[in-house]
């Protein structure tokens, strides 16, 4: 079954058919062994080389491999170091192994629609702030404290914007892009394509401290359902990962710069620190935020219906 959306247009004689980023899996070199090799390269770059880089950062900043002695900003750098290599691994796999443009992990169009990425950011950032931030403050005001060290915060902002963008975009390129495209070569069923990346996205997050605090409720609501399942379904419907890239960045930058929870996997000198994690409120807020996000993304913002032709150079070869 072919997943249709208003994206790039592929011309065959006089016939024009819709082309999604999922179908870009069959562009370039797409034999199964190439996806296996690509996964090995990506995981090696992320988990082995990236982890080694994180250890070097810990040594450079704290004089030892133990990251617990690092300050919040230093710990942030320790975590983010691995994502730089994760990103490079994805680029190598797509460009050199599959011989196609990394852009095809996002869209089948000639250009990325950055307006749509921005739409995703706004559509999630609004309910995140109102429901996840202001709403939580109204219910649990005693858990909020303001960061009075505004100089540190101001210096941290540009660093957080750049590195968080790399982190979230890399995760989208891999989980929503590469994994979905690889799975589509096995079975193009939408349910299958939605569940596979949701499960794979959840697995590495099971080690996060929030899981210990919130249990299965947090695992389901904060990892499997959102962002795992919902953001993948949105990408399949849209035919691009543009919305998901904006949404993911909005979600993580909000937790990094605005509302940081004590004991979270990624502590930071945010404007507000929340001393206690409330799993039930977190799950409920996510369930409320999703329909608000969908309303803004599809009712307030309108997707550009004018499609650009796909790149012919990205669609040749199989081996």
Q: Using CA atoms, how far apart are residues 282 and 290, in angstroms rounded to an integer?
A: 12
- The pLDDT value recorded for residue 48 is 97
- pLDDT tens, 184-194? 999 999 999 99
Using DSSP, state whether 271 is helix, strand or coil.
coil
Using CA atoms, how far residue 215 sits from 211, 219, 259, 277, in Å, is 5, 7, 21, 12
**In this structure, what DSSP letter does residue 3 have?**
P
Residue 300, number of CB atoms within 10 A of its CB? 11
Residue 259, SS3?
strand
pTM for the whole structure: 0.90
- Stretches where the chain sits below pLDDT 70 are 1-17, 303-319
pLDDT of residue 306: 46
* pLDDT the model gives residue 268: 92
Q: Which of 240, 183, 192 shows the shortest CA–CA distance to 5?
A: 240
Crossing angle for the helix pair 190-205 and 230-238, nearest 10 degrees?
140
Helix (H/G/I), strand (E/B), else coil: 12: strand
With beta carbons less than 8 A apart as the criterion, state whether 156 and 268 touch: yes
Question: Which uninterrupted H or E stretch holds 56?
Answer: helix 50-62
Closest among 77, 42, 73, 41 to 56, alpha carbons compared: 77
pLDDT digits (tens, 9 = 90+) for 44-79: 999 999 999 999 999 999 888 888 889 999 999 999
How many C-beta atoms surround the C-beta of residue 48 within 10 A?
13
Measure the CA–CA gap between 59 and 27, rounded to whole angstroms: 43
Per-position DSSP letters for 171-198, written without gaps between them: HIIIIIIIIHHHHHTT---HHHHHHHHH
């Amino acid at each position: 079954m072919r997943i249709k959306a208003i994206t790039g247009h592929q011309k065959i004689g006089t016939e024009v058919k819709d082309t999604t980023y999922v179908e870009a899996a069959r562009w370039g070199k797409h034999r199964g062994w190439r996806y296996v090799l690509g996964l090995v390269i990506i995981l090696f770059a992320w988990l082995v080389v990236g982890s080694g880089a994180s250890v070097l950062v810990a040594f450079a900043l704290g004089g030892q491999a133990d990251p617990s002695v690092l300050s919040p900003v230093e710990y942030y750098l320790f975590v983010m170091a691995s994502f730089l290599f994760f990103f490079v691994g994805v680029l190598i796999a797509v460009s050199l192994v599959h011989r196609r443009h990394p852009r095809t992990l996002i869209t089948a169009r000639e250009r990325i629609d950055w307006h749509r990425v921005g739409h995703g950011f706004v559509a999630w950032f609004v309910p995140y702030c109102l429901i996840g931030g202001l709403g939580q403050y109204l219910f649990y005001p005693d858990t909020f404290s303001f960061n009075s060290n505004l100089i540190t915060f101001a210096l941290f902002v540009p660093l957080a914007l750049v590195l968080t963008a790399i982190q979230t975009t890399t995760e989208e390129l891999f989980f929503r892009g590469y994994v979905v495209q690889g799975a589509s070569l096995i079975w193009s069923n939408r349910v299958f394509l939605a569940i596979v990346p949701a499960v794979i996205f959840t697995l590495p997050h099971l080690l996060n401290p929030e899981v210990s605090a919130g249990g299965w409720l947090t695992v389901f609501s904060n990892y499997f359902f959102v962002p795992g399942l919902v953001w993948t379904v949105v990408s399949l419907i849209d035919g691009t990962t543009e919305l998901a890239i904006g949404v993911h960045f909005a979600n993580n930058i909000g937790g990094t710069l605005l509302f940081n929870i004590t004991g979270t996997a990624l502590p930071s000198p945010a404007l507000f620190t929340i001393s206690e994690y409330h799993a039930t409120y977190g799950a409920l807020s996510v369930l409320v935020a999703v329909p608000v996000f969908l309303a803004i993304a599809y009712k307030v913002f309108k997707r550009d219906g004018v499609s650009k032709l796909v790149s012919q150079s990205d669609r040749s070869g199989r081996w």
